């Protein structure tokens, strides 16, 4: 087998969440280009159909399942839907997630719990439903892998990201623990994602000074692309990564601290925020 052959996932079946755009869409298309059939899911059916058309143009099959992926029953149901449609399940990509930045005093318990639910509980629900079906999908040379999309905010700190960062840190450690539970049958890995030009950062493209600030604060001098993350997921899902489990790849342009300052003010005695001198 050539080294390039190790990056193929021919005739594997994958589920990718949050696949209507951004990292999820790029990942689904990358897996299809490498030979997989893919079930894709998000809220917006129109976006999914566009991604499905690109998958089918590559000669692979695509199943579109619009769903509210904040609901654990709906996200868990994707595993059975893929198995019923394709007759097997080999790869799961837990991409759906995210939390809007919030100041500390605005981050109540409910907000923290909601972030944990959307970023961690959903990944667990899909993975737990998928594991029996993955184990039932036999075949020589088949890779069985789960990859979750975490964030560099799960390993570093900046103001405003408490709920999001805590949830992504939990997802990262979930990855390590799940890998231990599921070895040697299923590999479980994740990606610490840096700043990537997806819909969440579209506002940056319209503010040249902010974009320049982020680029200059990134050692590689640019904001990432969705395909940068998709390539990492393909590596972890394929035979190229068959000796890797319980690991988080840092695909972040080399940053060691956040490259976007939200400008949240200091707090002073009495609980009143004051602007930090520039």
Q: In this structure, are residues 66 and 120 in contact, taking their beta carbons and an 8 Å threshold? A: no
| Other Cβ atoms closer than 10 A to 114 | 15
Annotate 233-251 with b (16+ C-beta within 10 A) or e (fewer): bbbbbbbbbeeebbbbbbb
Strand partners, 122: none
Any catalytic annotation for residue 164?
A: yes
| Other Cβ atoms closer than 10 A to 85 | 16
Report d(CA 274, CA 82) in Å as an integer.
52
Environment class of 1 (CB within 10 Å of its CB; exposed 0-12, middle 13-18, buried 19+): exposed
| CB proximity list for 182: less than 8 A, separation 6 or greater | 131, 146, 188
| Other Cβ atoms closer than 10 A to 138 | 8
How many residues belong to the chain? Answer: 278
Distances (CA, A) of 134 to 7, 15, 83, 130, 184: 20, 11, 9, 6, 13
Q: In this structure, are residues 153 and 164 in contact, taking their beta carbons and an 8 Å threshold? A: yes
Which is the catalytic residue, given 83, 164, 192, 235? 164
Active site residues: 164
């Amino acid at each position: 087998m050539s080294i390039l052959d190790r990056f193929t996932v021919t005739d594997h079946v994958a589920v990718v969440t949050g696949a209507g755009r951004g990292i999820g869409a790029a990942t689904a298309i990358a897996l299809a280009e490498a030979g997989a059939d893919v079930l894709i899911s998000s809220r917006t059916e129109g976006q999914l159909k566009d991604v499905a058309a690109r998958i089918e143009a590559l000669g692979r099959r695509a199943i579109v399942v619009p769903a509210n992926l904040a609901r654990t029953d709906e996200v868990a149901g994707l595993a059975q839907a893929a198995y019923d449609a394709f007759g097997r399940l080999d790869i799961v990509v837990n991409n759906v997630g995210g939390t809007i930045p919030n100041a500390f005093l605005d981050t109540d318990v409910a907000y923290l719990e909601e972030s944990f639910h959307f970023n961690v509980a959903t990944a667990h629900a899909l993975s737990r439903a998928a594991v029996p079906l993955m184990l039932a999908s036999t075949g020589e040379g088949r890779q069985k892998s789960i990859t979750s999309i975490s964030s560099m905010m799960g390993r570093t700190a900046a103001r405003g990201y408490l709920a999001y960062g805590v949830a992504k840190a939990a997802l990262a450690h979930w990855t390590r623990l799940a890998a231990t539970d599921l070895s040697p049958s299923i590999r479980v890995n994740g990606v610490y994602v840096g700043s990537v030009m997806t819909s969440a950062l579209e506002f940056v493209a319209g503010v040249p000074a902010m974009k320049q600030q982020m680029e200059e604060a990134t050692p590689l001098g640019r904001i990432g692309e969705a395909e940068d993350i998709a390539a990492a997921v393909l590596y972890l899902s394929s035979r190229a990564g068959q000796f890797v489990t319980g690991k988080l790849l840092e695909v972040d342009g080399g940053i060691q601290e956040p490259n976007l300052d939200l400008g949240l003010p200091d707090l002073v005695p009495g609980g009143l925020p004051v602007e930090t001198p520039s």
